[in-house]
Amino acid sequence: MKQALWPHTPTADSIASKTRPWQRKTRPGPLHLLSILLLVGLLLAGCADSTTPPSPTESAPVPTSTVPAQTVTPRPVLTPTPTPVPTAANAMIVGMLQDNEPDTLWPLGTLSDEQRTILKAVMEPAITTLNYDYQAVLFTEIPLLENGGAKSVQVQVPVDPTTGAIAITDTGVYTYAQQFQVTFKMREDLYWSDGQPLRASDSVFGYNVACAPGSGYAMSARCDKVESYEAVNDRTIRVTFKPGLPEMDYFTYYWDFMPEHAWSRYTPDEMVSVEQIAQRLSPSYGPYLVEDWSPGESITLVRNPYYVLHGEEFPLLDKIMFKFVPDAYSLLSQLLAGQIDLVEWHGLEGVDPGLLYSLEENGLLHVHTQPSKIWEHIDMNLNNPDVLSETHPFLGELGVRQALAYGTDRQGMAQDIYGTEFEPMQTWIPSEHWAYAGDAALDLYPYDPEQAAALLEEAGWILADDGFRYKDGLRMDLALYILAGRPLRERIAQLFQANMAALGLGVDVVRISEVDWYSEDSPLSRRSFDLVEFAWISRLEPDGRVNYLCDQIPSQDNGWRGQNYMGWCNEQANTALLEAAQTPLREERAELYQISQEQFNADMPSLPLFNQLNYYISRPGLRNLRLNPTEDITWNCWEWFLPAD
């Protein structure tokens, strides 16, 4: 049985469908590789005797006017040649793996990355989540306590006289509790693809559908927290929570707009299978609408004629086609042949990044990279894995943990693995995050092997003639546990092993099968490791309780539950995280998260390494592909631009 995980903080390793290009190294078949090499040769030969104009700068806007005529009196008027305006391609083709083709576009289920990518072009998100934060799109603003869009009132509620918990029925015993109310105000320039205006009642209809039995709503727990969801008028939605503190993301408690005028004749059970809805989402309100779905081949979206949210000139492309292709090298071949314009990261599984960079150097494609919200780290066991009631003989010393941090070349590690430079993680919250404490507030650990050696010497670990460090006759040897069969983890382990060897520390890599990794006797939950390397996923609301609270340390007493595998218990960090979970104002929560990060870095129970890197490839002329760690690529597809050939 798999170890139970906190629902909001899964390990990246627990998501089997998110295998990275560098995690599963598949080799191209000889025919695939030969065809790619032949195609590259032909393309390079065709370019050899011609002069290719430079590609437009990606960030440059598409020109919308010509250079005005200049008149000089009394000479004749001189009219310079107008600056050419690039002609947009009629359609753009996005390549995806055939195995990842969705079987439905019904938006309420557990969605794959591919489903979300397509859905956001058809049902534009009301709120985007760029850079670990929130931005209003269909609403005039994010409703917050700080701006008056949300408010809290004190109400009298019945309580269970035994437990003190708020009761559903009248018990005759009362107390006062806070009740939150959030008001969403819609923009006025929103229309369905049949010309009907979006109304607040369409979101209420969406709420009723989602919270009804049979809808397959993957987030049904949200329904249980709401007392009422209503349309105040055509442009205003009001949600009233049940008494008690709401979620910290109370401002995301809106429901998808669904066209009441077109879908109300169906029950939620029927909607899941009706082609007009589950396959077409018709009518829709995003920049595009579904024109055709040819199973096993493609999904074609066409411009929504009533879409004016970002201006009447948008979307810039008339069509976007999602084309499903059997394997990664076929996708690459078709992109090089001009049959595909963009390949997202799932479609590059098994492709060597070095090949992509070589093709880019020859002007045949453009490589786009984006650090993801999945981040690698090495947890250090603060207790003796043989006797958990005892301190770890090596890692129980702060100076040793700090030495491991200083002695690990994290930036060099990322450079080696991905072939490009980017900054390592500094703490358990990404530096782009609104809750990041800032470099100045934290103890940082840049690569400094001399400082690492000095800390080890200071702790009494002396380098002997055999190249290893000893203290009181004991040699420091550590076991690093990794999930077997993951090339990324293997490379991290090799590089870490080399870094530690340079310090005189022995590291034995222990590879654990997936079955054992997720079993009841997992070395993580039983804390039978010295060091363990795996990944977490950063959230928009950091939370951190299940990973870093004292009562989340797995032990026999709690049934080996919790994900604080290090055994780290810091009272200041513990208190700060508990208070953050009860603090609605973001500014105050950020201060509490800062305390947690400061204590985490000072104690160094776990070494953050780096975010995993996503690769995308496109034809060189593609503009306005704005990748983001916390949004799908189609979040701004309305402004994608591809010059015509």
Please give the pLDDT value at position 36: 59
pTM of the model: 0.86
Torsion of CA 361, 365, 366, 367, to 10 degrees: -80
Round to whole Å and give the CA distance between 631 and 132. 9
Q: Which amino acid is at 312?
A: E
Please give the pLDDT value at position 39: 54
Round to whole Å and give the CA distance between 587 and 342. 39
Positive/negative CA dihedral, 549, 555, 559, 565: positive
Q: Which amino acid is at 161?
A: P
CA distances in angstroms from 502 to 412, 446, 468, 480, listed in the order given: 15, 16, 9, 16
The packing angle between helices 571-580 and 586-603, to 10°, is 160
Contacts of 283 (CB under 8 A, 6+ apart): 192, 193, 194, 196, 259, 262, 289
Joined tokens for residue 395: 């890692």
Burial class of residue 223, CB neighbours in 10 A (0-12, 13-18, 19+): middle
Please give the pLDDT value at position 17: 37
| Helices marked H in 246-366 | 260-263, 268-271, 328-336, 353-361
Residue 136 contacts residue 144 (beta carbons within 8 Å) = no
Length of the chain: 645
Q: Which amino acid is at 474?
A: L
Round to whole Å and give the CA distance between 109 and 20. 24
Round to whole Å and give the CA distance between 434 and 431. 8
Round to whole Å and give the CA distance between 33 and 18. 25
Residue 323 contacts residue 292 (beta carbons within 8 Å) = no
Round to whole Å and give the CA distance between 485 and 476. 27
Round to whole Å and give the CA distance between 88 and 316. 7
Please give the pLDDT value at position 157: 85
Neighbours of 164 (CB within 10 A): 10
Q: Which residue is it, tokens 């369409």?
A: 202
List, run by run, the mean pLDDT of 10-residue segments along the chain (645 residues).
36 48 44 53 44 35 35 36 60 97 96 96 97 98 97 87 82 86 96 98 98 93 95 98 86 97 95 94 97 97 96 96 97 97 92 94 97 97 97 98 98 93 94 98 98 98 97 97 97 98 98 96 97 98 97 96 97 98 95 98 98 96 96 97 89
Neighbours of 444 (CB within 10 A): 13
Long-range contacts of 464-468 (CB under 8 A, 24+ apart): 464/504, 467/501, 467/504, 468/504, 468/505, 468/506
Residue 457 contacts residue 505 (beta carbons within 8 Å) = no
Round to whole Å and give the CA distance between 421 and 371. 11
